[in-house]
Amino acid sequence: DGASFISQTKKDIDTLGQITSYTAAQLTTQYRTHTFSVLIIQDQACIIRWDSEGAVVTSSIHYNTEPHLADFFIITQSIS
């Protein structure tokens, strides 16, 4: 539907500021062109791709009813 599942409350803005500062610290102290984060809020998740230009966020994933995200992490964890 394109609607954001992140509301504009102070707590949500603080959370976004915190993950942004963590990612900025990682990108400036390690030689990386990009990095990924998974933001989980209640029963939804989104994948965020960060680079020096900003961030791209996927549509929300209802991971309780769409288990492919969990399957992806289980598979990638087993091969790393």
Query: pTM here?
Result: 0.72
Average pLDDT over residues 29-46: 88
The total number of structural domains that make up the chain: 1
Q: Is residue 3 part of a domain?
A: no
- Band the pLDDT of 5: cuts 50, 70, 90: low
- Name the nearest CA neighbour of 47 among 28, 19, 27, 74: 19
Q: Is residue 73 part of a domain?
A: yes
Angle (CA) 14 23 13, round 5°? 15
- Provide the CB-side half-sphere exposure for 38 (13 A, CA): 12
- Band the pLDDT of 1: cuts 50, 70, 90: very low
Q: Is residue 1 part of a domain?
A: no
Strand, coil or helix: what is 60?
coil
Q: Is residue 24 part of a domain?
A: yes
pLDDT digits (tens, 9 = 90+) for 41-75: 888 888 899 998 989 998 888 888 877 767 777 77
Q: Is residue 74 part of a domain?
A: yes
Q: Is residue 31 part of a domain?
A: yes
Largest Cα–Cα separation, the chain: 39
pLDDT of residue 24: 92
Is 6 within 8 Å of 16 (Cβ atoms)? yes
Domain that holds residue 56: 10-79
